[in-house]
Structure 1
Amino acid sequence: MDFWLEMRAAPGARRFVDTDEDTRELLLRRILEAGVLGEPRARSFRWFVEVEGQLAGTVSARELSRVHGRVELGYMMADAYHGQGLCTRAVALMLEQLFTLPYLDRVWLTTLVENVGSQGVARKLGFALEGTLRAHCLFQGQRRDQQIWGLLRPEWELRRASLG
């Protein structure tokens, strides 16, 4: 828990994620609400990334819709682990597990237009930029454009083959 609070308070995280509302209780609730992949009622999943015995980041999937066959993906790495390809590998592992769900056809994520690192992760894993929502979110008191990225099951299967 302390790791997650510290990671979210670091300068790298605060550039692109609104962490002002973070409290120990809120983050603990998010962890406790995360389900186990394959549980019939689970709507979200959270994994922590560990590197050589040290926590390095988190990958999550939330708002799972079995009816629509989609889930939203999120990820964050501690500042010390940026630029090493660890996030891309962690997200690829999450995608591999998510696409074992037979009803899942689409994974999507959002990035701020300024977050080129996160966009690089999305591109490397085969996500397509589907559009930009202008002035879509309020971040640090300013309206920001937000990009929507999507990955369909057949696209992941092709990308997975090229990664392996």
Structure 2
Amino acid sequence: MISSENHHLAPEGSNEKEPVKIILAEDDKDDQELFIDALDEAQVPSEVTTVENGQELLDTLRDQSEPNPDIIFIDVNMPVKGGKKALEEIKSDKELRDIPAVMLSTWSHPADIEDSFDKGADLYVQKPNSFTGFVLLLKKVFLLHWTKALLRPVVSLFFVSEKNISHKD
């Protein structure tokens, strides 16, 4: 099932930024809700479309009636088509390859991280254990993204987890 939610965080009449168009590929409903709630808390004006596996993600991206998203978040472990397989197909498609792709995983295995990097992911994020951690992490991801640090990631900036980000920002 594909759902779409609009989140307009700025008050009416203010200088509202265009909402960020996000597709979240995540099969866990709780993780979908956590992600959307954390975006709200991080005050990232966004329109989130959720899909539940890599095949739904590809179908949504290839739908000509929908504009491409600004960024996609892809859970590594999903049914039907896993995140890394979907990433590989996205990055080999000339129409889709320039969309920034952030991999999400509960694991931080170096081989997984390297494999995602080699397949063209722009960032690999270890899912935080807490809501606060998720909010902080999303703030960092969007700060990195909008300063264009993701255009050509370097490996040292590529892996993000709660352990290697400061709680002071």
**If each structure's strand is expressed as a fraction of its own residues, which one has the higher value?**
1
* Fold match (TM-score > 0.5): no
Ranked by relative contact order (alpha carbons within 8 Å, sequence separation 6 or more), the top structure is 2
TM-score by length of 1: 0.35
TM-score by length of 2: 0.34
